[in-house]
Structure 1
């Protein structure tokens, strides 16, 4: 299996990283999250100008036509800089669902074009997520009813706000009534669409968790290099070095697991769900360890609003249960590896899908 990214993917990631470093500094995020909406149309517009919202949109609709592998890099950048996950929900997860709808469906082409130019915000309601992110700001809501896919406007639903430990999260409980007029897919087609959507949602969160883990590690390394105890930097103590080295190891272990899952999704591997669940768990473990060791080296001040660590730590905690919690993904892995005739061992791990 070749995990090498091409020059276009790496250059795009570098450009997005440089852009977000300037436009999404922690001070800017704090100011933004204290507003009622918690969102900045200006920032979203600038992100669209960079091409991120067009990444997965087909070229026929004004997009770049890239797939899951490219998003495995982009979601890490979104996590590293604490960008709200609803951006990835629209530009990546919902975009994939829209592309799976019949081309004859009225509105489909226009929706994809608006995703590409950043003027359309989409919220996704899947049973695995009882609370929907950014539903109050969404132009469209894609909702599941059994195997059915329904498209609704914000005026067609009732919303109930739900607080989150993560200041960037704007969650709503959505109440709505399914109708034939809003149904755009059902049966086997609808079931397949929701399965792909769930896998893309979980992969999106996994990438963000990995980016968050790296950001928390970087913040912790910077802190222990500056903070002094007993006349020398805190980072000079072996116990602190071991803690942060453990985090670095978890991050490096999780990266190929994430990339393997992205490759499986993009290439239609029948084991994609298994690989996605493995990635979600591996990246979640890295983020949790980064948060725990980060707060240990920072001390209690790491929880305070003024310290950047708390922004990314709380986000990691909140995202850990999005698109399936640990129990859900462990159960999916158990179903796969304990099934009769399961293909296990290194001989099957990197076998190309037939």
Structure 2
């Protein structure tokens, strides 16, 4: 497999980085958590102007006709900045799951950033993310697409991830959602990598500024070792995520195994980054005003999103046992 990111993909990631660095994703996430979607929608429109939701949409429907590697490159930056909203559902899952008339109906608006999807996928994705702003719901287990009818909201560990139970509504059939599920899980892997990298960068920056007992805390070997462990784990997880994206782009039959391995390792790396960043920051990391808290809750929620670690480990075990 080739893991090298192309110059064009690096440039695209740089454009997404420039957009989000010049905006206020943290403020948009806090507003989104309070039910004010305006700032978040503005942020998502900016991503649409760059073509993020159009990456996997076929050119016939106004998209860019890209592949999952392009998607992972963008979603790592999105995860770095903790962008709120149903971006995985709209940009990663809907373009893969929707075909035929459903694709013609919904994908042009999705590619333009004018419509959003929410997704259900059995026990791994039992609740609909941001259903209150979604225009349609995809049920990957049932193979249907239809209207959104909210039953009630369910509390999430991450306030910016607004979860809902849905009531039955009118729907129409779409293709089986196996590949769509893998693409959604892959996008979450990239988000975890991005969040972990932000946590590492922020902890390193804080360690270079915070003094204790007359020395910068970053000068202590214990702190250096903690941060080095995080950097190592992120660098070990990144090739697995990129490799899974290559497998998805090539239609590899072992894609579920690749995605599950990537989800496990990306989750472990991001969780270690979260624990270490909190340890380096101390009590200030618990405050609502500090942006660290946004990533701590985001990582915790993403660990279980699109399949828990135990679910993905079990898939890897079954794949390995089947190949033996």
Short-chain TM bin: over 0.9
Residue pair 1:77, 1:211 contacting (<8 A) in 2 also? yes
- Selected match of 1:237 from 204, 220, 223: 220
Match of 2:268 in 1: 285
Match of 1:83 in 2: 83
Distance 2:119 2:27 in 1: 29
- Cα separation, partners in 2 of 1:25 and 1:141, compared to 1, 3 Å: closer
Structure with greater Cα Rg: 1
Match of 2:173 in 1: 184
Give 1:256 deviation, angstroms.
Answer: 0.5
Give 1:32 deviation, angstroms.
Answer: 4.5
Query: Is 1:203 aligned to 2:195, yes or no?
Result: no
| Alignment deviations for residues 93-152 of structure 1 (CA, whole Å, 9 cap, x no partner) | 111111xx2x3x2x42131111111111111111111111011211111124x5x31111
| Alignment deviations for residues 61-95 of structure 1 (CA, whole Å, 9 cap, x no partner) | 22111010111111101100001251121012111
Match of 1:167 in 2: 159
Distance 1:37 1:303 in 2: 25
What SS does the aligned partner of 2:306 have? coil
Distance 1:290 1:315 in 2: 12
What SS does the aligned partner of 1:54 have? coil
Query: Is 1:303 aligned to 2:286, yes or no?
Result: yes
Match of 1:151 in 2: 145
| Alignment deviations for residues 290-342 of structure 1 (CA, whole Å, 9 cap, x no partner) | 01111111112211112111111110001110110011001001101122x43
Match of 1:74 in 2: 74
| Alignment deviations for residues 129-184 of structure 1 (CA, whole Å, 9 cap, x no partner) | 1111011211111124x5x3111112xx232101112121110011215x6xx231
Distance 1:143 1:276 in 2: 20
Query: Is 1:125 aligned to 2:120, yes or no?
Result: yes
Give 1:28 deviation, angstroms.
Answer: 4.5
Give 1:27 deviation, angstroms.
Answer: 4.0
Distance 1:80 1:117 in 2: 23
Query: Is 1:317 aligned to 2:309, yes or no?
Result: no
Residue pair 1:33, 1:39 contacting (<8 A) in 2 also? no
Residue pair 2:85, 2:130 contacting (<8 A) in 1 also? no
- RMSD, aligned CA: 1.7
Distance 1:89 1:97 in 2: 10
Identify unmatched segments of 5+ residues in structure 2.
none
- The number of residue pairs the alignment matches comes to 323
| Alignment deviations for residues 22-50 of structure 1 (CA, whole Å, 9 cap, x no partner) | 11343453344334448632222222112
Distance 2:163 2:150 in 1: 13
- Higher mean C-alpha deviation, range 44-53 or range 241-250: 44-53
Match of 1:352 in 2: none
Residue pair 1:136, 1:159 contacting (<8 A) in 2 also? no
Match of 2:9 in 1: 9
Identify unmatched segments of 5+ residues in structure 1.
343-354
Distance 1:85 1:96 in 2: 19
Distance 2:138 2:160 in 1: 21
Distance 1:97 1:260 in 2: 22
Query: Is 1:29 aligned to 2:41, yes or no?
Result: no
Residue pair 1:67, 1:266 contacting (<8 A) in 2 also? yes
